[in-house]
Each structure stands twice: as C-alpha cells, then as structure tokens.
Amino acid sequence: MGACISADARPTEQTFLVKGSEDDVAMVSLNQWVLCIFIFILFFVDASYMTSTAPFLPDWVESRGLDSAWIGAFVGGQTGAMLIGMTAGMYVVKLIGNANSILLGVFLSAVMCLGAALVPPLLTGTAMGVAILMFRSIAGLGDGLLQLAALSTVIRILPEKDLPFVTGASEGLRALGGVAGPFLGGWLFQVGGYRAAMAVPSIGFLFCFVGILLLISSVPATQKMVKGKDEASVRIFLSKPPLFALMIYMFLLTIPFSLYEPSIEPHLTAPPFDLTPGHVGNVFGVTAFADVIGAVSAGFVSKIVGQMPIILFCPLSMMSAIAFLIYGPQTIVCFSVALVWISFALYPAFVVCSQLMMRVLRSYEIDPKDYSEIIAAVVMGAMTSALSLGGLSGGFLLANLGFNNTWLFALCIVIPAPILIVICFHPAVMGRPLAKLADVSTERQLQSERRMADENSKNSTANDGKRDASQSLRSA
C-alpha cells in the first residue's frame, strides 16, 4: 500500500505504516482508520434515509389531501438543496474545518428527520406539503454538506494509491444503503406508522455524530479561507481540460441512470410485462446489488488494467447496454440484464473518477490533497445535478417520446463522453503527459513536499509576527 497521511497523527497514538517499510515516513493513525469506518457507516445511513420514503410517502401524502405533483416537488427540493449544500460546502469546510462540517451536516439531517416525523402529521393539505418540503430541503442542505465534507476527509486522510479500494468499498455501502432503505422504510411504516418510519433514521445519524465527535482530533485541519485564494483554486481546477472533461463525463454518464424511476417503472407495469409494483421493486433490487458489486470491484479492476481503460470502457459499455435495452428481446430477464449492465458501467467510472482527478492535478504539479473538497464537490455535484435533471425530465420525455426514443435519447447523450476524454487527455491538449499512477515513491515525495510547505508557512508566520512586533516598538 502507498504512504501518506495527515500531519494530525499524534506520536502518542497507535499508528500503522501504510507500507511495511522503515523508510516510509507517513502513517495512518488508528483513530483515523476508525473515523473512516464511521464515515462509511454514515454513507450507508444517509443513502438508506434518502430512499426509505419511496414505499409509503406517495400514498400517505395523497391520503391527506395532496396530489402526486407534490412528490416531484419534495424530490426536486431536496436534490436542489443538496447541490447548494455541496457547492457551499467547499467554502464551509475551509471556514470551520472538515470535522465540524461533517458534524453540522449530520446534525441538520438528524434534526430534520425528527421534524419531518413530528410536524406534518399535525397538518393537512397545503400546509402539510409546505412543512414536508421545508424539512426535506433543509435536510438536503445538510446532506450535501456532510457528503462533501466526509468524502474530502477520506481523500485527505488516506494514501492516493489506495483510495480506489476504499472509495469502492464506501460506494458499495452507499449503494447497499440505497437497497436497504425502501425495505426498512416500508417495514417501519407497517409496524409503527409514518412517525416511526421518518424518525428512526435519526438514530443512525446520531450514532455517527457521536462517533465522529469523539474522533474529531483525527481529522486533518484545512487551510483558513484567504480572500481570492479559494475562488482562484476553483478557477484553476476547472481551467484544466482533463478535469473539466471528467466533470462533464460524470454528468453525461449519470443521465441514463437518472431515468430509471420515471421511465422504467411505468414501462414494466404496462404490457408486455404487466409486472406488479412489488415485482418492479425486485428488479430494482437486483440492479442495486449490481451497483454494490460494481463499486466494490472497481478498485481491484483499476489496479489490474489502469484507470484510463476503465474511464474509456464504461461509456462504451453503457451505450451497448442501452442498445440492448431498446432493441434486445423484450423479456424481463433481458431487461434486467440490461439494467444491471448499465449499473456496472456507471459505478466503476464514479469510483475511478476522483482518483484520476488527483492524478491530473499531480500532472500539473499541484498537491491533490489541497483540492480534496473541490474534487468531492465536482464529482458528486455532477452526479447529483444529472440525477435531478433526469428525474424531473424523465416523465416529460416518456410522455412525448415514448420508452424506446427516451432511451435512444439517453444513448445519444453518452456518445460525447469517451470522445471528450480522448481529446482532453491528449498531451497536446493537457500541455504535458499524464502523471503515473500513485505509488510508494509518489506518496513519499508528496509527503516531503507537504512538510516543507508546512515549515515554510510556519517560518513565514513567525517572520510576520516579528515584523509586526518590530513595527509596534518603533511606533511606541
């Protein structure tokens, strides 16, 4: 494994060499490993909460005087708030640090869970709809913040060369939470009603809050915001052709995935399939488990074949899967195979994308750890915005184009993705070759550069203090 880690590891803490060599200078403390585990649990809890309302909320809302249009408003409001939370999170993390940002996001999510459980049952009609929308939107802000802060913390703590394995495992847990959410939500609603189904996820958030609070000293501090610096760093990041291309790439690849709910369910419940909603749920369950397998295996596959082959193969595989979905045999088995195929094409790309962004930054002689918040915001923001756009437009496309043409449109959207990658990663466009994959020597070199930068910063601060003291004496 590679070397690296935060300067926050205390000498008195139990630590583990990331590579078993006496020459390696960087260690990961036990507390930091435990912190990462709590973050992975948080991803599971968060994903299960986001999907837990699917089995009961539409019917419950309609039974209390609202039409189905409010469900779209709830989803759109929460997703839009997540995007705002992720965008603002880049600056919030700089102001209050990684750990405090995670805690703030978890706190908002937990409180809004309880609020959404306690208040709406006391209301009816429009007042109830507005209350649910408010609670879900504020929860979306917290969710966007905690996702960005948590992912950027993992990027800061762990060695770059091992992040594909760790990110794959965390995304596998997130996908597993997405599978478990509807089952848990439906069961809780049957057992305890609306309040129980909405309130229980707050217990999971509270568990993660306490664990992260106890480990807060293990989280690496981020630089305080300097006027003009953070805006410039975002500008620098997006000015690099490969990084901008990866952001657009993730957006394009997520669009077909976002069409699942608005287009797949109506298609499967109509002829020739005539499935019940329960059977449709089983199809989605199989697809979700494919998400888990795709995410977990991505790190191992990238270790064998490299990152660029995965990035180029995934959109080609997705286009093939969509073509099979449209033109293949119209049987439920073939349909399920196509959906699983699409999932295998998306999740490996997502896992590899953030690590490839770090590699691009090293190509431009930029320390990727300094850009961890921006990497998290760009990758997750691109996916969330695509999910929001597809979710809102999927019904319109299905009604006006029909199922086959809607998915043919999705196929056409994916076509530019590999072309964009090939062009923007060409050395003539990059202005330099792509840096090699991170290894032990890379991690050791980056660690040495970070220590030198820290020493220079301390010396500069000390010199500034002496200069100010000298000026004060002369003034006196």
Lowest-confidence segment of 194-203, 232-241, 390-399, 443-452 by average pLDDT: 443-452
324-338 mean pLDDT: 89
Interatomic CA distance for residues 179 and 20, integer angstroms: 37
Does the structure show a pLDDT above 90 at 274?
no
Place 278 in a pLDDT band, splitting at 50, 70 and 90: low
176 phi and psi, to 5 degrees?
-65, -35
149-170 mean pLDDT: 85
Domain ranges of the chain: 1-224, 226-456
CA angle 376, 382, 387 (to 5 degrees): 125
Does the structure show a pLDDT above 80 at 23?
no
**Which comes out higher in pLDDT, residue 469 or 290?**
290
Cβ 235 vs Cβ 229: under 8 Å: no
Averaged confidence pLDDT in the chain:
81
Region for residue 379 given its phi and psi (left: phi exceeds 0; alpha: psi -120 to 50; beta: otherwise): alpha
Does the structure show a pLDDT above 70 at 253?
yes
Interatomic CA distance for residues 349 and 347, integer angstroms: 5
What would the pLDDT profile of 84-95 be if each residue is shown by its tens digit? 999 888 888 888
Place 316 in a pLDDT band, splitting at 50, 70 and 90: very high
3-state secondary structure of 119: coil
Quote the pLDDT of residue 359: 92
Q: Which residues are bridge partners to 16 per DSSP?
A: 28
3-state secondary structure of 149: helix
Q: Which two tokens stand for residue 157?
A: 């703590």
CATH of domain 1-224: 1.20.1250.20
Does the structure show a pLDDT above 50 at 3?
no
Quote the pLDDT of residue 309: 93
CB atoms < 10 A from the CB of 313, how many? Answer: 16
Quote the pLDDT of residue 52: 86
Cβ 410 vs Cβ 256: under 8 Å: yes
Place 463 in a pLDDT band, splitting at 50, 70 and 90: low
Distances (CA, A) of 399 to 100, 267, 330, 406: 45, 11, 20, 9
R_g over Cα of the chain = 24
**If you write DSSP's letter for every residue of 220-235 in order, what string do you get?**
PPPPPP-TTHHHHHHH
Place 257 in a pLDDT band, splitting at 50, 70 and 90: confident
**Which comes out higher in pLDDT, residue 442 or 326?**
326
Quote the pLDDT of residue 134: 94
Could you check whether 1-224 and 226-456 share the same CATH topology?
A: yes
In 182-276, the DSSP E strands lie at none
**Proportion of the chain above pLDDT 70, given as a percent:** 82
Amino acid at 66: L
Q: Which residues contact 434 (CB under 8 A, 6 or more apart)?
A: 242, 308, 359, 360, 363, 425, 427
Quote the pLDDT of residue 116: 92
Does the structure show a pLDDT above 90 at 145?
yes
Which helix (H) or strand (E) element contains residue 141?
A: helix 125-157
Interatomic CA distance for residues 79 and 82, integer angstroms: 5
Does the structure show a pLDDT above 60 at 249?
yes
Across the chain, which distance is largest between two alpha carbons, in Å? 90
**If you write DSSP's letter for every residue of 420-431 in order, what string do you get?**
HHHHHTSHHHHT
Does the structure show a pLDDT above 60 at 457?
no
Cβ 118 vs Cβ 173: under 8 Å: no
The domain covering 226-456 belongs, at the CATH homologous superfamily level, to MFS general substrate transporter like domains (1.20.1250.20)
For the ranges 47-51, 53-57, 112-116, the maximum mean pLDDT occurs at 112-116
Does the structure show a pLDDT above 90 at 131?
yes
Lowest-confidence segment of 164-173, 209-218, 269-278, 305-314 by average pLDDT: 269-278
Q: Which residues are bridge partners to 28 per DSSP?
A: 16
What would the pLDDT profile of 226-237 be if each residue is shown by its tens digit? 444 555 477 888
3-state secondary structure of 29: strand
Does the structure show a pLDDT above 80 at 13?
no
- For tokens 């990758």, the residue is 379
Q: Which two tokens stand for residue 316?
A: 């080609």
Interatomic CA distance for residues 158 and 28, integer angstroms: 7
**Which comes out higher in pLDDT, residue 226 or 253?**
253
Which of these, 212, 204, 170, lies nearest to 184 by C-alpha position?
204
Does the structure show a pLDDT above 80 at 242?
yes
Lowest-confidence segment of 136-150, 194-208, 340-354, 450-464 by average pLDDT: 450-464
Helix axes 163-199, 277-305, angle to 10 degrees: 160
Q: Is the dihedral of CA 395, 398, 404, 410 positive or negative?
A: negative
Whole-model pTM: value is 0.78
- How far out from the chain centre does Cα 360 lie? 19
Helices assigned H by DSSP within 328-439: 332-363, 372-414, 416-424, 427-430
What would the pLDDT profile of 402-447 be if each residue is shown by its tens digit? 889 999 999 999 999 999 999 999 999 999 999 988 765 655 655 5
Region for residue 132 given its phi and psi (left: phi exceeds 0; alpha: psi -120 to 50; beta: otherwise): alpha
- Which of the 8 DSSP states describes residue 331? S
Which of these, 164, 151, 181, 32, lies nearest to 85 by C-alpha position?
151
Quote the pLDDT of residue 369: 84
283-309 mean pLDDT: 85
Does the structure show a pLDDT above 60 at 345?
yes
